[in-house]
Amino acid sequence: MHGPDHLPEALQLPGPGTIAVVTGANSGIGLEIARQLLEHGVTVWMGARDAERGRRAAAELGAGARVVQLDVTDPASVAAAAAHVGAVDVLVNNAGVDPGGEDVTGTSLDQLRTAYETNVFGLAAVTQAFLPALRESAHPRIVNVSSGTGSLAWTGGPNPQFDWERTRGGGLAYRSSKTAVNAVTVLTAQAVGDGVKVNALAPGLRRTNLVADMDVGGAPAEAAAGALRLAFLPDDGPTGALWSWDGSRVPW
């Protein structure tokens, strides 16, 4: 889908009663997205696979934070979460895993399955479950947390986000699953029409549990601000695209 090269500066701030669901919200980027949504007066359902960890995170954030047990790989959990939450205006599909592995000869099929089960199938299942409620919203938004490493355009040559030569051929499970997330994003946007804004976010390398063994990455809060840009898009804003945390468009 075609559109601008940069997100609009004028955002549509949420009105009273706006409700968001954030998967994988008890740590990392998801926790920061929840925190910033709360700062804008949004009621946030923090989806957490481990309900107790979710409750601790919600207690840290304070008023407006609610917890729903949500394991994106468990269809029964997804269905129960959607029924429990009810009305929703913003869905942030943030839950994701990196099961490790290297290139095509150094990645097991189990690692591939693990990556796709959460990052792709889980994202699709959550979107399907919450879409009926989103269609009832006046300003529905879906934000899929993807990765610049899933961009085929950037994977095929020099790019501004990562060392192409060093990463060439590596990260098969995680990176290919994020390429699939990008495809799910654009196809979902086409299917639901312009009324539901569906976009993907390339958050950049952040200090989260995904890279806990490396002393790298920027602050998760910076990436979360990029997610809020997409959650607060105006009604004439773009849909069906991959955006960097800084608001610039990323090629597929």
Task: Please spell the DSSP secondary structure of 143-211, one letter per residue.
Answer: EEE--GGG-HHHHTS--SSS-HHHHTT--HHHHHHHHHHHHHHHHHHHHH-TTSEEEEEE--SBSSGGG
pLDDT of residue 220: 86
Active-site residue identified among 45, 130, 154, 174: 174
CB neighbour burial string for 75-110, b if at least 16 within 10 angstroms, e if fewer: eebbebbbeebeebbbbbbbbbbbbebeeeeebeee
pLDDT of residue 213: 47
10-residue stretch averages of pLDDT, the chain, 252 residues long: 84 94 96 97 98 97 97 98 98 97 96 98 98 98 96 81 69 97 98 96 74 60 95 97 96 93
Q: If we measure between CA atoms, which residue out of 107, 103, 106 comes closest to residue 170?
A: 103
User: What is residue 246's DSSP assignment?
Assistant: T
Q: What Cα–Cα distance (Å) separates residue 152 from each residue in 60, 114, 130, 242, 250?
A: 38, 21, 29, 12, 10
pLDDT of residue 160: 61
In sequence order, the 6+-apart residues with CB closer than 8 A to the CB of 130 are: 21, 82, 85, 88, 91
pLDDT of residue 2: 63
Instruction: Yes or no: say if 38 and 64 are a contact pair by the CB < 8 Å rule.
Output: yes
- Where do the domains of the chain lie, and which CATH numbers do they carry? 19-250 (3.40.50.720)
pLDDT of residue 106: 96
pLDDT of residue 232: 98
**For residue 116, what is the enclosing H or E element?**
helix 109-116
pLDDT of residue 219: 85
Q: What angle do CA 212, 104, 213 make, to 5 degrees?
A: 10
**Catalytic annotation present for 174:** yes
